[in-house]
Amino acid sequence: FEGYTLKQWRRHPRELDASVCGRIPIRTNRDDRYLREEFQALPAAGYTRMFERMATACGDRLRILLQTDYREVLPHVRFRHLIYTGPIDEYFDFADGRLPYRSLRFESESFDADALRSREAIAGRPGFWQPAMQVNYPGPEPFTRIVEIKHATGQQCTNTTIVREYPQDFGPGTEPYYPIPAPDAAALYARYRERAEATSGVSFIGRLATYRYYNMDQVVGMALAEFDRLEGTADPAP
């Protein structure tokens, strides 16, 4: 665990919050799945198609702007309530300083049937590169894990694609993937949380807006709970 943690966070485990260890499953049974949730699934046609259907169902009520700073359009948009899911320090123009994040770089590589024959002993069956969907690497390798998507999708094909994940510092040109679970970062976030609590008409939702290492299902649950809370309480749009 130490090697993986050092690569992932670029900090020694002693510098991190104890909640990091809570994400590591410890089992006394033969369940070899990483997650503990009773129900684990993927959208039948994939996440892209799922979101496309959701957007289509909204019709003219939804307008999507990509590669756009929301500050550029905010003066021209009427709303009853704002749902903000970006970095909370950016929302407040970094008034208390910049929160630290970790980012990732993804590297994909594909293999044909001939290339996979030499991997059968490792993968345990033909047509695969590794024995499980995700394999972690706590050693000196620069990447932390390799994901082989075909394990999850169940595609029947002789080729396969793997994706290596390389942790990296967050900076210009990179995405903020992970809030840093460390006391100094938590202290800085507390100041932004005070600002958020004093801001009316805005809900801060998600990993970046709440500076918490949430999983996807937790954020979906957070969004649904916030919708239930807001439904019928917002003033009419100006």
> Where is average pLDDT lowest: 67-76, 94-103, 108-117?
67-76
CB within 8 A of 156, min separation 6: which ones? none
CB within 8 A of 18, min separation 6: which ones? none
Would you say 89 and 160 are in contact if contact means Cβ atoms under 8 Å apart?
no
How distant, in Å, are the alpha carbons of 110, 123, 129, 198 from that of 158? 11, 14, 11, 56
For residue range 32-56, list pLDDT tens digits in order.
777 778 888 889 889 999 999 999 9
- The residue ranges of every structural domain in the chain are 102-169
pLDDT number for residue 24: 67
pLDDT, mean of residues 145-164: 94
pLDDT, mean of residues 107-131: 95
Would you say 147 and 137 are in contact if contact means Cβ atoms under 8 Å apart?
no
Taking Cα atoms as reference points, which of 43, 29, 32 lies closest to residue 135? 32
pLDDT number for residue 238: 46
For residue range 25-35, list pLDDT tens digits in order.
677 777 777 77
What is the Cα–Cα distance from 177 to 207, expressed in whole angstroms? 9
What is the Cα–Cα distance from 167 to 106, expressed in whole angstroms? 9
For residue range 168-225, list pLDDT tens digits in order.
999 999 999 999 999 999 999 999 999 999 999 999 999 999 999 999 999 999 999 9
